[in-house]
Amino acid sequence: MRRRELVFFLCGAVAAARTLRAQQKGMSVIGYLQSAAAGPSAPYLAELRRGLNEAGYVEGQNLTIEYRWAEGDYERLPALASDLVRRGVDVIATGGGPPAALAAKAATSTIPIVFVVGTDPIELGLVASLARPGGDLTGVSMLMTELNPKRLELLSELVPLVRVIGLLVNPEYSGTPEMVREVQKAARAKELQLDIAKARTEGEIDAAFATFLQLRVGGLVVGNDTFLYNQREQVVALASRDAIPAIYGWREFVSVGGLMSYGASIASAYRQAGAYVGRILAGAKPADLPVQQPTKFELVINLKTAKALGLSIPPLLARADEVIE
């Protein structure tokens, strides 16, 4: 056996033994499968734990969590999901969008799964319906993809004279085709030219912005996926460098200097997911738990960035849920 294979085998054996000991002590064991890396998604993990705590489950007391991080490499997800199944966890919670949820679904037909996704879980094949999911999956859908036409509308309101808009997406994200269709439809309705650039690496993000400059893009909609979220500082820096007004799906982009964002609260979604995991550990069946959807959407504006771009935004300011000075 090769050294690398031996190390992997021994690590797996240690993890399996730890899971077994926890279960023998009467502790529940859940798996947490995340498309992103631990650092960038730490705030959402904290909210997942918060939801679990509110349901009566506290890590280290009556709960053990097995963590698996894909660190933005979606190809790792199937193996990570299968590893959690081999551990015999009680529930799998997934984060970072559809890739993790789909990997978990493919890995097991018996372990309950609670997902957090930003697109339609029915179209993804995760559930039969929102009200009655059926099967072993349920969770939270944040309607991130469906909100992109609204983001385009807000961007057009901010830069009404701009006729050429860019759309930055990750081609490896399963929600991208729907996202592109929705934004194209909205752009046609407004008689806007839409130029689409695809990026799955840091270098491709740089190349995308070079293309946007050549095409004289006057506004930008940034797609929603874990990779682009992890690269938010790079994306925001390039948009600032090239003076392109951009709108994002997450407030975290605005926190690092992005112009504005519109979307559901990701933190709230993970808290809801944690509560669902707790209910399933207590005996509820995923098939009986409706897929939850956000009830509030937040418009966040970075006033400093707007001023740097020479933009006047009084009408939008009146509707903003949060203004970052």
Collect all residues with Cβ–Cβ distance below 8 Å to 269 and sequence separation of at least 6. Answer: 116, 140, 142, 292, 294
For the chain, where do the domains classified as CATH 3.40.50.2300 start and end?
A: 3-143+266-296, 145-263+298-324
Q: How far apart are CA 29 and CA 68, in angstroms?
A: 13
Residue 3 — very low, low, confident or very high, per pLDDT cuts 50/70/90? Answer: low
Q: Find the largest Cα–Cα distance for the chain.
A: 67
More confident residue, 16 or 318: 318
pLDDT of 16 above 70: no
CATH architecture of 145-263+298-324: 3-Layer(aba) Sandwich (3.40)
pLDDT of 211 above 90: yes
CATH number of 3-143+266-296: 3.40.50.2300
pTM summary value: 0.76
* Nearest residue to 11 (alpha-carbon basis) of 71, 86, 70, 89: 86
pLDDT tens for 122-172 read: 988 999 999 999 999 999 998 777 788 999 999 999 999 999 999 999 998
